[in-house]
A and B are shown apart, each in its own frame.
Chain A
Amino acid sequence: MIEIKDVRKSFSTLEVLKGINLTVNKGEVVTIIGGSGSGKSTLLTCINGLEPINAGQITIDGTVVHAKDTDLNKLRRKVGIVFQQWNAFPHLTVLENVMLAPRKVLGLAKEKAEEIAVKQLTHVGLAEKLNVYPNRMSGGQQQRMAIARALAMSPEYMLFDEVTSALDPMLVGEVLDTLKMLAEEGMTMICVTHEMAFARDVSDRVAFFHHGVMAEIGTPDQLFGAPQHPDTQAFLASVR
């Protein structure tokens, strides 16, 4: 369970998160929507401790993320994250990209790491690309590789930070299908997205962020069907 309690976060004088409260249960898919600069991506990088927070507390299965004695490297093994920019390791083949962390971080033997990597890459539909270098693949394929790379660590939680925003429109579908597949398999996920149809389809709950505040949260039917907050109504009207 991920518990976010009154989290505040500033970049110098700009406060981007103004007291966020959110609890995500095991097996739940929560999507976060909202305009640019609403703080939704920042929240994800705070959850796995890539960014420090100024106030409040984030706990993952009882571990306080920003506590001094928390081993973040250990915590990150169970919280996978995929970014808008897929960030392939360009000097490694697709297979090596996925194998690296299981081998070095989890200390698995080469054979075992390879077995896991092949399984995850097959899962996201890249079984044919094992020995290809990332720059020879499309953005969608690289993004699916990044998803397989995160999954190879057998995370219990997955964070997706606008994973389709940097893709050509034609490639968005294949990545969203991968996310849907994960959601159906019961992965606990927090997805920041601009894809409203996707949010409506896969989410258990949808949260709307506005200027660093979680203005509204509810089931897809509630949020898309009958938004209560005027800012949510304005936002949904503008993206339709």
Chain B
Amino acid sequence: MFDTALTWNDLAFLAQGAAMTLAVTAVSVTIGTVLGILFGVLRVQLGAIWSAPLTFVLDVFRSVPLLIQLVLGNALQSIAKLGWAPFTTSCVVLSLYTAAYCSEIIRGGIGAVPATTRRAARSLGMTWWQDMRYIVAPLATRVSLPAWIGLTLGVMKDSALVLWLGLIELLRASQILVTRLQEPLFILLICGVIYFVISFPIARLGGYLERRWSPND
């Protein structure tokens, strides 16, 4: 192809970075989604007024730039002498950030289930929980899925910011190589390709599920 100083070892270094990106994303999206569902359901159940304090906190997490949240989070855990590793701090901050967006998605999904359909379920003697489990959850999932896939892909790329806490994820690994090898375009190209390779299956999974469900809606 053309001359490069990039070695197999360097590629392995990038792969390690990608593994870190994946780990941070997987942990944060999992915890963030569980919390997001919890907060979303809570907000629907409590109504706008009673859930106002929760909504306010979540709005803060949605509006303050993630970089500032990470730096502040790290400072706070240091002041509180929690002794968290950068990985833990990163996951905690990213999870809350994800939960804030996810609760909004879930709230919209639940709101999209017609009240009359839920009323029909309750009139058959189903409890609130049965209505949630068998009617609302499947229908809200279909509505929420595209936005949730988007959120996951977004968090994966936003997770690059954890490099500010000293974690060597994909982007930081690329930066280190760029500094050493002075081949920014080539290395960033590879970095971009790796981001694409890990994002693509998630995007396709979303498309697959949408196609599988759509004929019934």
Least distance between B119 CB and chain A CB atoms (Å): 6
Q: Mark A116-139, 1 if CB is under 8 A from B, else 0.
A: 000000000000000001010000
* Chain A CB within 10 Å, residue with most, of B121, B124, B126, B142: B124
Check if A76 sits within 8 Å of B120, measured CB to CB: no
B45 partner residues in chain A, CB cutoff 8 A: none
Write the chain A residue with the least CB distance to B127. Answer: A73
A48 partner residues in chain B, CB cutoff 8 A: 123
A74 within 8 A of B: yes
Question: Given the complex of chains A and B, what is the CA–CA distance between A100 and B46 in angstroms?
Answer: 28
B122 within 8 A of A: yes
A104 within 8 A of B: yes
Question: Given the complex of chains A and B, what is the CA–CA distance between A143 and B138 in angstroms?
Answer: 22
Write the chain A residue with the least CB distance to B115. Answer: A87
B52 within 8 A of A: no
B215 within 8 A of A: yes
Write the chain A residue with the least CB distance to B121. Answer: A89
Least distance between A100 CB and chain B CB atoms (Å): 6
Residue among A80, A104, A105, A133 making CB contact with B216, cutoff 8 Å: A133
Given A85-B116, A89-B117, A91-B139, answer yes or no on A133-B123 (Cβ-Cβ < 8 Å). Answer: no
B125 within 8 A of A: yes
Question: Given the complex of chains A and B, what is the CA–CA distance between A150 and B121 in angstroms?
Answer: 10
Given A83-B116, A135-B216, A135-B217, answer yes or no on A89-B135 (Cβ-Cβ < 8 Å). Answer: yes
Check if A50 sits within 8 Å of B139, measured CB to CB: no
Write the chain A residue with the least CB distance to B141. Answer: A91
A210 within 8 A of B: no
Given A90-B139, A91-B138, A133-B216, answer yes or no on A104-B119 (Cβ-Cβ < 8 Å). Answer: no
Given A91-B142, A100-B134, A135-B216, answer yes or no on A150-B119 (Cβ-Cβ < 8 Å). Answer: no
Question: Given the complex of chains A and B, what is the CA–CA distance between A146 and B122 in angstroms?
Answer: 14
A83 partner residues in chain B, CB cutoff 8 A: 116, 119-120
A81 within 8 A of B: yes
Question: Given the complex of chains A and B, what is the CA–CA distance between A100 and B135 in angstroms?
Answer: 10
Residue among A91, A104, A150, A153 making CB contact with B130, cutoff 8 Å: A104
Main secondary structure of the interface of B (DSSP, over half): helix
A87 partner residues in chain B, CB cutoff 8 A: 114, 116-117, 119-120
Question: Given the complex of chains A and B, what is the CA–CA distance between A217 and B216 in angstroms?
Answer: 44
Number of A-B contacts (CB under 8 A): 63
Chain B interfacial residues counted at CB < 8 A: 22
5 contacts between A and B (CB under 8 A): A76-B123, A87-B114, A91-B217, A104-B134, A105-B130
Question: Given the complex of chains A and B, what is the CA–CA distance between A212 and B178 in angstroms?
Answer: 79
B213 within 8 A of A: yes
Check if B124 sits within 8 Å of A105, measured CB to CB: yes
5 cross-chain pairs, A with B, having the tightest CB-CB distances, nearest first: A87-B120, A101-B124, A76-B125, A105-B125, A133-B216
Chain A interfacial residues counted at CB < 8 A: 24
Write the chain A residue with the least CB distance to B130. Answer: A104
A9 partner residues in chain B, CB cutoff 8 A: none
Question: Given the complex of chains A and B, what is the CA–CA distance between A220 and B106 in angstroms?
Answer: 51
A205 within 8 A of B: no
Check if A76 sits within 8 Å of B139, measured CB to CB: no
Check if A77 sits within 8 Å of B125, measured CB to CB: yes
Q: Which of A134-190 contact B (CB under 8 A)?
A: 135, 146, 149-150, 153
Least distance between A107 CB and chain B CB atoms (Å): 11
* Chain B CB within 10 Å, residue with most, of A48, A90, A150: A90
B127 partner residues in chain A, CB cutoff 8 A: 73
Residue among A80, A101, A135, A150 making CB contact with B126, cutoff 8 Å: A101
19 further A-B contacts with Cβ under 8 Å, apart from A73-B126, A83-B116, A89-B121, are: A50-B122, A76-B122, A76-B123, A76-B124, A76-B125, A80-B124, A87-B119, A89-B117, A90-B117, A90-B217, A91-B139, A91-B213, A101-B124, A101-B126, A104-B130, A105-B126, A133-B216, A150-B124, A153-B125
* Chain A CB within 10 Å, residue with most, of B119, B123, B139, B217: B123
A91 partner residues in chain B, CB cutoff 8 A: 138-139, 142, 213, 216-217
Least distance between B88 CB and chain A CB atoms (Å): 39
